[in-house]
Amino acid sequence: MIAKDLDLPVPEFFAVQVDPEFVETIREPIIRDLFSNSDTFAFGSAQLPTGFAVWGTDQSVPEALCQTAAEIYTFDAIVINGDRRPENPNCMFSGSEIAIIDHELCFSQELFWRAPWIEGGFDSRRQPQQHIFAKPRLTSCPADLNRFEDAWNTIDEGRVDAYFRALPPSWKLENHEADRIRGIILDSRANIHEVVERALGALR
C-alpha cells in the first residue's frame, strides 16, 4: 500500500482468501496438505501484461526510467527491503516499463541498520551487488526526487494506521512490532528531504 500511495510501479494487489472447498479439489496430496496447513489468506498480484520479463543481471537503467529507478532505490532503503539484488531482482521489465514485486521482507530487522536520513544510511545498498539500481547502473542520476518527496508528505498518521487495519486478522502484528514499523514510516516522512539527498549522493 505504501508503494501504491507513492505511485511506484507495483501491480494491483489483493489479499486472497483460499476457500477450503478449493483446497479439497487439489489432487496432489503433498500440495493439498501444504494448502491445508497454510494461512487462509495469501498475497496475490494481478498478472502483468505480455512482454514483461525478469530484470537482467547487471542491466543498465535506460535514461527514461532513471527517475523511477532512483525512487525505488530510495523506497527500498526506507522500508528496509534488502531483497532487490542482481541474483533476485524482484523487478520485471518490459523494455519501456518497470514493475516491482515481492515486498514480504520489508521492515525486517537488518543487521547494522542505520536510518536512511543519517550518514551511512545507504551503506547497505551502495554497492552494485547490493541493489539492482545502485551505482553505476543508472544511465544518469536525477537532479532531484521532488515528486517522490511530495508523495511521501501525503502519508500522515491516519494513513499509516489504515495500512495496519487493512491486514487480514491472521496477519496482525504484535503491538511492539507495529509500533516499530509505524515509527520507521513516520520518522522517514519527517526526514524525507534528508533521505532523498543521501540517496542521490549514493547514486551520483
Tell me the pLDDT tens digit for each residue of 24-37. 999 999 999 999 99
Q: Is 199 exposed, middle or buried, given 0-12, 13-18 or 19+ CB atoms closer than 10 A?
A: buried
Q: How far is CA 30 from the centre of its chain?
A: 31
Closest alpha carbon to 108 in 80, 78, 130: 80
Q: Is residue 158 part of a domain?
A: yes
Q: Is residue 162 part of a domain?
A: yes
A 10 A CB-CB count for 20 gives 9
Predicted local confidence at residue 173, as pLDDT? 95
Q: Is residue 172 part of a domain?
A: yes
Segment 148-152 mean pLDDT: 98
Tell me the whole-structure pTM to 2 decimals.
0.94
Please tell me the total count of domains within the chain.
Answer: 1
Q: Mean pLDDT, the chain, as a whole number?
A: 96
Where residue 128 falls among pLDDT bands split at 50, 70, 90? very high
Q: Is residue 23 part of a domain?
A: no
Does position 112 have pLDDT exceeding 90, yes or no? no
Q: Is residue 7 part of a domain?
A: no
Residue 9 corresponds to which cell in the numbers above? Answer: 510501479
